[in-house]
Amino acid sequence: MSEVILEIDEIVMRAQKALDIIKTFSQEQVDNITEAMCHAGSAAGMNLAELAVEETGMGKLEDKAMKNYVATQVVYDQMKDGKSVGIIEEKNGVIHIAEPFGIVAAVTPTTNPTSTTLCNALISLKGRNVIIFAFHPRAQQCCAASAQILLDAAIAAGAPADCIQWIKKPSVEATNILMKHSGIAMVIATGGGAMVKAAYSSGHPALGVGPGNVPVYIERTADLNMAVNNIIASKTFDYGTLCLTEQTVIFDNEDTAQKVLQLFKERGTYLCDEVQKTKLEAVMFDKEKGVPSASIVGQSPQKLAQLAGFFVPDEIKLLLVPIKAIGTEDWMSHEKLSPVLSWYIADNTDMAIQAAVDLLEFGGAGHTAVAFSRNEEILVEYALKVPAGRVIWNQPALHGVCGITSGLTASLTLGCGARGGNITTDNITYKNLLNIKRVAKRTKEDA
């Protein structure tokens, strides 16, 4: 038996002992533990952001700190009054009893390493589960630091030892062994498509995500100033590392396009010409794997331009490139995970909506779509037709999806449903980590 298998067996055995204890806890005990975890994670948010930027070389310090805050304080605030122990609801003569799923195996990415770790640990323990992490090798140290902070806080608040664990020597082999281990009850996979597919092939229930290739339709009646400001705020956050942010702006006429492009330019966006676009495409994608190149993810516009062989001034926040086709004939219509935004002009409303559909089907089915318009009939038509699990109206994708400007629930794991090869379209929360037992009273007499 290999050393890796022995290590995973030992981790799972310790997790089972912790599970046997925590599953006996009351709602009050669980809530005390998650409150302590929230406070500890939130207080360490800036330090963990520094570790993440230093280790991964991706993103912006202040934005990663904000993601850590969302992953702890915002997530906690939304779930703190929720019931997750024992009888949680009685409706129509049916009693709903919450039980933990068990041992959760969680795979985390390089793009949002500390925030994903914080969020998944918090929602797992809210449901009286225990969690074992397999961190991305290029983010092992910052993720381990995040997990250790929450573990220490949880234990101090009464949680059992080993309720949060992680693989100490990361590898693809170790991650696969963990996900397939017979002791695992649930897999949460946040990362690349191959890893998510492996999670769904593990033999266990899995909560995974699909890639995002978010279209944003700016319809002719939209508040153009608001649309541009919102898109810039979302797309430039953490240098575009979040898969839920806008990837391609779609217009339904030339006049609106030119007005919006001018507004982008006035607000610190660099409009690339065809030559610069070609240079960017050459460095931005691993076309064999069909994904953005690791070297460009979460980098500044200045760094991206330098890699591509041209120069942009320091004040530039975003690069904008034109596309005339959607699909492999124009790779700039793909997800970019960087402060690069493409734009596309359709001939009318129907063709603009179809362009959004095509973009999602090319590389983001089931994820997220955005639209700006004052015409609610068009907004509804857009929502009905796009193959997205989340449709955001008249707000930034980032802020809308995370519940900052909408009623959606904050999460760092976003399901993409059947279209994205996932089990759910939910923003994953502690509710997805509960086994619900239903007790049915007799409410009807025999016929």
DSSP 73: I
Q: Quick one: pLDDT band at residue 256, thresholds 50, 70, 90?
A: very high
Q: Is the pLDDT of residue 1 over 60?
A: no
Give residue 69's pLDDT: 97
Contact residues for 380 (Cβ-Cβ < 8 A; gap 6+):
none
- Return d(Cα 114, Cα 45) in angstroms, integer: 9
Q: What are the tens digits of pLDDT across the range 121-148?
A: 999 999 999 999 999 999 999 999 999 9
Q: Average pLDDT, stretch 353-379?
A: 97
Q: What are the tens digits of pLDDT across the range 410-443?
A: 998 999 999 888 889 999 999 999 999 999 999 9
Distance of CA 128 to the CA centre of its chain: 23
Mean of pLDDT over the chain:
95
Q: Average pLDDT, stretch 210-238?
A: 96
Give residue 447's pLDDT: 59
Rg (alpha carbons) of the chain, rounded to whole number: 22
Give residue 194's pLDDT: 77
Buried b vs exposed e over 255-278: b needs ≥16 C-beta within 10 Å?
A: ebbebbbebbeeeebbebeeebbe
Q: Average pLDDT, stretch 174-184?
A: 96
Do 297 and 58 form a contact (C-beta atoms < 8 A)? yes
Q: Average pLDDT, stretch 56-65?
A: 97
Query: Domain 214-400, what fold?
Result: Aldehyde Dehydrogenase; Chain A, domain 2 (3.40.309)
- In order of 93, 113, 163, 181, the CA distances from 197 in angstroms are 39, 19, 26, 16
Q: What are the tens digits of pLDDT across the range 282-329?
A: 999 998 888 899 999 999 999 999 999 999 999 999 999 999 999 999
Q: Is 272 a catalytic residue?
A: no
Do 216 and 138 form a contact (C-beta atoms < 8 A)? no
Q: Average pLDDT, stretch 330-336?
A: 95
DSSP output for 86-101: EEEEEETTEEEEEEE-
Task: Exactly one of 142, 243, 272, 402 is catalytic; name it.
Answer: 243
Nearest to 213 by CA among 370, 51, 399, 395: 370
Contact residues for 193 (Cβ-Cβ < 8 A; gap 6+):
210, 211, 291
Give residue 421's pLDDT: 86
Give residue 199's pLDDT: 87
Query: Domain 3-210+426-439, what fold?
Result: Aldehyde Dehydrogenase; Chain A, domain 1 (3.40.605)
What token pair was written down for 355?
């362009």
What token pair was written down for 105?
């195996």
Q: What are the tens digits of pLDDT across the range 24-34?
A: 999 999 999 99
Q: Average pLDDT, stretch 58-76?
A: 97
Check for a shared fold between 3-210+426-439 and 214-400: no
Q: Average pLDDT, stretch 81-94?
A: 97
Q: Is the pLDDT of residue 191 over 80?
A: no
Q: Is the pLDDT of residue 112 over 60?
A: yes
Task: Specify burial of residue 439 (Cβ count, 10 A radius: 0-12, 13-18, 19+).
Answer: exposed
Q: Quick one: pLDDT band at residue 200, thresholds 50, 70, 90?
A: confident
Q: Where are the domains of the chain?
A: 3-210+426-439, 214-400
- Return d(Cα 327, Cα 262) in angstroms, integer: 26
Least confident of 87-96, 113-122, 234-243, 415-424: 415-424
